[in-house]
Every structure is written in C-alpha cells, then in structure tokens.
C-alpha cells in the first residue's frame, strides 16, 4: 500500500518543486496560502465521506476520487501543456493530495494494529514508503522523456489504484487474524463512523491529547516550511537552470529515502520497543535545533543539504512512525476524522502562517534571524514530543496494553 502510494507521489514531486520555483521564490507564500484554502474546502468533503462510509471503504473511495483527479490533470496537460494556472493548480492539488492520502493510509494502519504491533511493525511498514520514495524519482527521471508529464500522471493514477486495492486487502487480513477484544477496543470496521463532517475539528479542540498532537504538527510544519523556503532560495541562487533544479531535488529525495530505509529497518522499531515512542518524537527536533544554529553561522548550500537531508530522513524514519503510533490508543472516530483534520488542515495552516513569517523575515534581510527563530521552534517541538510520549504511555496502560512494547 505504502510502496505504490509513495512511488506514484514521488514521481511527481520533483516536477511540483520545479513549478514552485518557476513561479518565483518570492511568491511561494501565495502557493502555501492557496494550499491551505484548498485544504479547508477538501476536509468537509472528506468528513462527509468518513461519516457515511464504513471505515474499510473510506480509503478506496477517496483514492478512487484522486485517481479521477490525476486523469483530469493529465488531460489538461495534453490540451494546454504550458498553461501557468494549470501548473499552479497542480502544485496546490498535489500538496493537498499528499497529506490527505498519506494520512488516510496511516489511519488504516492505526485502525488495524494495536499498539504493541505498531511498535514492532510500523517502521518496517513505513520502509515501503521510503522504498517508494526512492523508486518514484528514478521512474520519473527515466520515463518523463518518453511519456511526458501527462503520461507520468496516468502512471501515478494506476499506482494509486493499486495502493487502494492493497488497503482493502489489509482489512481482510485483520478479519482473518483478530486480536483479543480487550486490546482491540474498536468498533466494527464495517459500520460507518457517523457524526457530522466537522467532527474531526471538534474532537481535536476538546481533547488535550489530540490538541497536543495538533501543536506538535504545527511546530513540525513550521520547521519544515522554514527549511523549504531556504531550500528554494539557495537552489534558485546556486542552480539557475530549471532542469538542474529538478535533478538536485531528485538527488536529495534519493539520499533521503535511502537513509530512511536503513534507519527504519535497523533502528526505528528497536528504539520504539526499548526506549518508547517519546524518543522517536524528540530526537529529530533536537537535531534540527542544532541544524538551524549551524545554518545561522554558515548559511551556504552544502550545510543546508546536510540539515535538510537529516530533517527529512529523520521525519520519515523516526518522527512519522512515532507520530502515527500515538493514534493506536484513541477511538476510531479520532483515528480517521480528527487525525486527518490534524494532518491536513492543522498542518497546512501551520505551513501558511510560517510561510508568511519566513517571507517577512527574508524581507528584513537577515537569514540568520530566521534560523535562530527556527532553532527556538525546534526546541519547543522537542518539548511537546516528550510530553506526548508520556501521555501515550498512560493511555496504553489504561487500555490494558504493555507500555514498554
């Protein structure tokens, strides 16, 4: 499921990044704002689907809708290949799609596996995502010439359809391998969640645990956005040629996914079982605080590449699995509606706000100031991660699981 999803997405990601730079680094905050607005429009639609469909049907129906979107964009690129508004619309669409589709895939895992299974398996399963993230850019590089951008979109749609089929198969596997009811603590996945389309937001605001996860995600998004804007600035200054830019983005993706796979296979699961989820949530933020300070002292492209690769590889291999494990101890409605509200609206809201903050700091003209502020945000991020790890242990113990994994 993850391999097919990420292969399809990462085939298209370098193209999206080049489109963002082509529109002007000084305009990136507008694309981030447009993405946030599009997310606000998409979430009630997803909430309606989650209320009406059984849990096991949410993913295939949502992915089927995305397949139709991809085919529509492919047709638009054939008819108007150089239209700037089609490019901007695709940038925004892909930015909404990737969060919602990936969040939904993790919702399925949080729904199917209990916490002890998650600590043992989530990192290895996430290895499929990293392998897809490694395969996608390679396929995109090899196939963009013979297939064109529209052909890549059609191929991505086929891979996404395959991912949906794998998601359906996971529920069938769980049916054949049930866990004790005392550990499962879930309703029948064949029944709809019910409620209203905005239930995800209300669940977050009335639960301190979910609000803590939301704050964690806002801080994560802020750190990511600060580095993303710095990436766009340094890449545009260092590599003026758009083709070279795409190659650089693809190379960074390849290194990131390779490091992620190695970490997921050999370290993440062992860390979660022996040291707890909190360690997964704290290590990368502390590393990023040091990285921001390094960039403040030495704001050059080589240093940035090291920091960016460490941030992204650490997020995929440590932070993301740990963050998703937090949802194994919440109710089904929180695993789907609240989780997807946090992963999309909250995340993109953090993106939009921090994008304007970073742009304002750039206008002031002192890049080191933004990096120092980023270091402070990263330290706060680490503190929230530590608190969430302790809260998850208490919830797991209350559900009758083994907090130690």
pLDDT tens per residue, range 192-218: 555 555 677 888 888 999 999 999 999
Q: Does 95 map to a domain?
A: yes
pLDDT given at position 405: 44
Instruction: Please say whether the beta carbons of 62 and 46 come within 8 A.
Output: yes
Range with the poorest average pLDDT among 78-87, 132-141, 271-280, 395-404:
395-404
Cβ atoms within 10 Å, residue 251: 14
Answer whether residue 124 is part of any domain: yes
What pLDDT score does 7 carry? 94
* Domain membership flag for residue 154: yes
pTM to 2 decimal places: 0.75
Task: Provide the token pair at 186.
Answer: 């879930």
pLDDT score at 338: 87
Q: Could you give the CA distance from residue 309 to residue 298 in angstroms, rounded to a whole number? A: 17
pLDDT (tens digit per residue) in 312-322 = 889 888 898 89
Q: Answer whether residue 403 is part of any domain.
A: no
As a whole number, the mean pLDDT across the chain is 83
Whole-number Å distance between alpha carbons of 89 and 31: 9
* Segment among 66-75, 243-252, 322-331, 361-370 with least mean pLDDT: 243-252
- The 10 Å CB-count burial string (b at 16+, else e) for 36-69 is bebbeebbeebbebbbebebbbbbbebbeebbeb
Interval 355-388: pLDDT, tens: 788 878 877 767 788 889 999 999 999 999 999 9
Structural domain of residue 348, as residue ranges?
2-188+196-398
- Burial (0-12, 13-18, 19+ Cβ within 10 Å), 201: buried
Counted domains in the chain? 1
Find the range with the poorest average confidence among 60-69, 164-173, 227-236, 369-378.
227-236
Q: Is residue 405 part of a domain?
A: no
Q: Does the residue 365 lie in any domain? A: yes
**Confidence tier at 238 by pLDDT (50, 70, 90):** confident
Which phi-psi region, left, alpha or beta, contains residue 185 (left: φ > 0; alpha: ψ -120 to 50)?
left
The residue behind tokens 């989780």 is 339
Name 54's bridge partners: 192
Asked if residue 245 belongs to a domain, the reply is: yes
- Distance from C-alpha of 30 to C-alpha of 365, rounded to nearest angstrom: 20
- The position carrying tokens 């990096």 is 371
CATH assignment at residue 383 = 1.20.1250.20
Asked if residue 157 is part of any domain, the answer here is: yes
Strand partners, 192: 54
Give the list of residues 6+ apart from residue 176 with CB closer than 8 angstroms, or none.
Answer: none
Give the pLDDT of residue 403.
45
pLDDT-based confidence at 324, cuts 50/70/90?
confident
């Amino acid at each position: 499921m993850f391999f097919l999803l990420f292969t399809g997405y990462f085939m298209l990601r370098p193209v999206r990044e080049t489109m963002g730079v082509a529109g002007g680094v000084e305009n990136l905050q507008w694309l981030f704002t447009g993405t946030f607005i599009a997310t606000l429009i998409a979430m009630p639609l997803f909430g309606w689907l989650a209320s009406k469909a059984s849990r096991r049907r949410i993913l295939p129906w949502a992915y089927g809708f995305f397949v139709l979107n991809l085919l529509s964009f492919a047709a638009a690129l054939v008819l108007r290949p150089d239209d700037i508004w089609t490019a901007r619309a695709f940038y925004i669409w892909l930015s909404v799609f990737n969060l919602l589709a990936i969040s939904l895939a993790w919702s399925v895992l949080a729904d199917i596996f209990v916490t002890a299974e998650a600590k043992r398996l989530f990192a290895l399963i996430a290895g499929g995502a990293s392998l897809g993230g490694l395969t996608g850019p390679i396929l995109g590089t090899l196939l963009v010439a013979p297939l064109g951008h529209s052909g890549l979109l059609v191929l991505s749609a086929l891979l996404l359809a395959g991912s949906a089929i794998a998601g359906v198969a996971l529920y069938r596997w769980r049916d054949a391998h049930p866990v004790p009811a005392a550990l499962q603590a879930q309703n029948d996945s064949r029944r709809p969640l019910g409620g209203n389309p905005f239930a995800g937001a209300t669940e977050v605001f009335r639960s301190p645990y979910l609000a803590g996860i939301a704050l964690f995600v806002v801080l994560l998004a802020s750190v990511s956005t600060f580095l993303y804007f710095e990436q766009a600035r340094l890449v545009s200054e260092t590599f003026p040629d758009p083709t070279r830019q795409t190659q650089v983005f693809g190379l960074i993706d390849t290194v990131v996914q390779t490091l992620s796979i190695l970490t997921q296979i050999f370290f993440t699961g062992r860390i979660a079982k022996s040291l707890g989820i909190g360690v997964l949530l704290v290590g990368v933020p502390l590393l990023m605080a040091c990285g921001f300070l390094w960039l403040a002292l030495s704001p050059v492209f080589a240093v940035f590449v090291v920091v960016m690769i460490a941030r992204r590889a650490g997020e995929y291999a440590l932070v993301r699995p740990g963050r998703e494990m937090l949802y194994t101890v919440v109710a089904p409605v929180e695993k789907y509606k609240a989780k997807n509200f946090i992963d999309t609206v909250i995340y993109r809201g953090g993106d939009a706000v921090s994008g304007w903050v970073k742009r304002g700091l750039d206008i002031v003209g002192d890049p080191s100031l933004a990096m120092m502020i980023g270091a402070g945000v990263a330290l706060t991020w680490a503190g929230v991660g530590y608190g969430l790890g302790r809260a998850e242990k208490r919830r797991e113990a209350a559900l009758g699981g083994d907090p130690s994994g």
